[in-house]
Amino acid sequence: MFGRPSRDTGMHTERNNKTSQAQQLHLLNSSSVQDKINKSWRLRNLYRYARGNQNRMIDMVYVTILSRPPTPAERNAAGKYFRVKGIGTRNGTIDLAWALINTKEFLYRH
Amino acid sequence: MSEQQTTSTTRRDVMKLALTGAAGAMLAGPAGLRAATTPRRKVATAKSVIQIWMWGGPSHLDTFDPKPGTGHDYCGPLDKPIKTNVDGVMIGQLLPMLAKQADKYAIIRSMTHGINAHETASYLVQTGHEPGRQVFPCIGAAVSLLKGFDHGYKGLVPPYIVLTRPQGRFSEAGFLGPKYKPFATGGDPNRDPFAVEGIVAKGITDQRQRARRKLLGSLDALGKAMPNNADFRQFDQCQGKAYDLMFGDARKLFDLTQEKDQTREAYGRNTFGQSCLMARRLVEHGVPYVTINYTGWDTHKQHFEIMNRKLPEMDRGMATLLSDLSDRGLLDSTIVWWSGEFGRGPKVQWNPPWNGGRSHYGACFSAVLAGGGFQGGRVVGASNKYGTEVAERPVYPQNLLGSIYERLGIDPDGPLPNKRGLNVKIMPNSDKDKGRLTEIM
């Protein structure tokens, strides 16, 4: 993953921080990543705890994944997503977590 | 007289020296010399390979090398093999559809390697190497390297695809590295939707996929803060390409509802049949190597019950694949290779605990090659009366793999490029014993 050499060679020159289409596909859409998000006890607790208060939930997902609170614009964008037709609070939380895991900030900084 | 002989020897020596001297221009030399002595044309005839991998080792007696007249001890209830549409060739009675397509394939009845362990045999048959210090790539991975993105392949999907579960380290990229591992689709092509790993997410509607993609776009704070970062631009490109795979033509490629119901029925509404159909679609698209991992052939117990259940399924899928490829003009450029890691014991084990099973048998077994420039309607080699030993023309995995490489236009004696600095041929010893399958090339 992520431009790293295979474990048994450890060749330094093979390191680069470039992503590849295959990695992106895995992060965006693989069943293993999606399962991990769906089954995450942490997210489930978060959802149960903050269910009544959407803003609070958004804040907590941000802090959990990116170790920072969202900016007002980000909170806004996330809130809008929850109101999209067919996306409930539960799926909204899952998808927010999914999105944050796929941002450059998460992948390059965490 | 002797003068003439001396002259011709000298000239040949000079040619040899000149050619081997130009070691840097490797491929031209030895091939040129061999062409002078072998009349066979070394021209690429095939563009793709569909490997039907009979995981577990299929019984050769009950499929392509029947032994009528050897009695219940060897045949069990399957003692009435059937004629094919090729004079003099008979195959197992549970393969009537394949019997009508025998003009399209060649049966090799003298495969041998003598190994009865699944892992070692799987590795040997698919890489042509016995286990050692290095893990060699299987032929799929080598073809993925030599005919893939580095050599002009422009398909939407990776050049080496496995339907549907990968076999793991016994048939993978070895020292070539993870870039040449197969893309295993996962999922089941007989289900709608065919949940191809990474392309079709189970339980997430299209609408939700698109909506959350928009969400992702609007939350990209770091990206927006550093618009000129080259790594980020490459990141976006890759993400864009990944989405193209998810929503675009790649998705359509894996969508079997695009085929007529009639076609889907013809292949058989089961995982194997639909995998054969999927393989046809993939080679139509230009994928150079597709492996169908067909499991369940390790029949130590209930052998004949399982044959009764599985052989008709295999018959329908494989026969329809051959005729469909042929109808679409794809058979000439597509090699279809049917084989397992070994065959199964000709003498049935009627005693407990097997109660009617067949053991592993690597001393003598069968393989089938069709299309891609291999001549159909032929039989290569022969086994003895009971199918226990090779009687004529032994064929080793190296011979068979070397023949496939040759038909793909890859010189088996050429160097295998790799990042380990290893100086190895693509298929060493492809001329082992009786050599490559020139009889059908």
pLDDT tens digits along B315-372: 999 999 999 999 999 999 999 999 999 999 999 999 999 999 999 999 999 999 999 9
Whether A76 shows a pLDDT value over 60: the answer reads yes
pLDDT at site B336: 98
pLDDT at site A7: 53
Measure A42 CA to nearest chain B CA, in Å.
21
Question: Global pTM?
Answer: 0.81
pLDDT at site A4: 53
Return the ∠ at Cα B137 (arms to B290 and B411), rounded to 5°: 80
* Rounded CA separation B401/B67 (Å): 27
- Give the closest of B201, B212, B234 to A18, CB-based: B234
Task: Scan for tokens 């009764």, then name that residue.
Answer: B308
CA distances, A91 to each of A44, A56, A95, B212 (Å): 11, 16, 6, 10
Cβ density class A29-47: b for 16+ within 10 Å, e for less? bbbebbeeebebeebeebb
Q: Which residues contact B37 (CB under 8 A, 6 or more apart)?
A: none
Q: How confident is the model at residue A36 (pLDDT cuts 50, 70, 90)?
A: confident
Using DSSP bridges, classify how beta strands B360-361 and B365-370 pair: parallel, antiparallel or unpaired: unpaired
Q: Which residue has the higher pLDDT, B202 or A91?
A: A91
pLDDT at site A3: 53
Task: Scan for tokens 């044959």, then name that residue.
Answer: B307
Residues of B in contact with A77 (CB under 8 A): 215, 218-219
Sheet bearing B334-340, strands edge to edge: B183-184, B160-163, B289-294, B48-54, B334-340, B365-370, B105-111, B378-380
pLDDT at site B257: 93
Contact B273, B190 (CB under 8 A): yes
Reported ipTM exceeds the 0.85 cut: no
C-alpha closest to that of B74 among B438, B366, B384, B430: B384
Instruction: Give the range among A19-33, A39-53, B80-94, B189-203 with minimum mean pLDDT.
Output: A19-33
* Rounded CA separation B112/B361 (Å): 9
Element (H, E) at B109: strand B105-111
Query: Which ranges constitute the DSSP H helices of B171-258?
Result: 206-218, 221-225, 230-247, 249-253
Task: Scan for tokens 């042509």, then name that residue.
Answer: B128
Element (H, E) at A46: helix A41-50
Task: Scan for tokens 């958004």, then name that residue.
Answer: A58
C-alpha closest to that of B297 among B333, B327, B338, B241: B338
Mean pLDDT over residues A100-104, rounded? 85
- Give the closest of A30, A81, A107 to B215, CB-based: A81
Q: Which residues contact B359 (CB under 8 A, 6 or more apart)?
A: B116, B300, B344, B345, B349
Instruction: For an interface test with B, give the residue of A2, A7, A31 to mutate (most B CBs within 10 A).
Output: A31
Q: Which residues contact B371 (CB under 8 A, 6 or more apart)?
A: B46, B104, B105, B322, B325, B330, B331, B332, B333, B334, B335, B336
* Rounded CA separation B207/B129 (Å): 49
Interface of A with B (CB under 8 A): 6, 9, 11, 14, 17-26, 28-31, 34, 71, 74, 77-78, 81, 84, 86-87, 91, 95-96, 98-100, 102-105, 107-109
- Give the closest of A81, A98, A105 to B221, CB-based: A105
Contact B340, B64 (CB under 8 A): no
pLDDT at site B37: 44
Amino acid (one-letter) located at A81: Y
Contact B52, B297 (CB under 8 A): no
Read off the DSSP letter of residue B410: -
- For CA atoms B280, B255, B210, A46, the dihedral sign is negative
pLDDT at site B15: 47
Whether A75 shows a pLDDT value over 50: the answer reads yes
> Can you list the pairs that B16-22 forms with residues at least 24 positions away whose Cβ atoms lie under 8 Å?
none
* Rounded CA separation B281/A40 (Å): 38
Amino acid (one-letter) located at B377: G
pLDDT at site B137: 94
Read off the DSSP letter of residue B378: E
Ranges under pLDDT 50 in chain B: 1-9, 14-15, 17-39
C-alpha closest to that of B331 among B42, B29, B40, B45: B45
Topology classification of domain B43-200+254-440: Alkaline Phosphatase, subunit A (3.40.720)
State whether B246 and A26 contact (CB < 8 Å): no
C-alpha closest to that of B341 among B111, B56, B139: B56
pLDDT at site B10: 53
Task: Scan for tokens 């299309």, then name that residue.
Answer: B371
C-alpha closest to that of A60 among A43, A39, A41: A43
pLDDT at site B12: 52
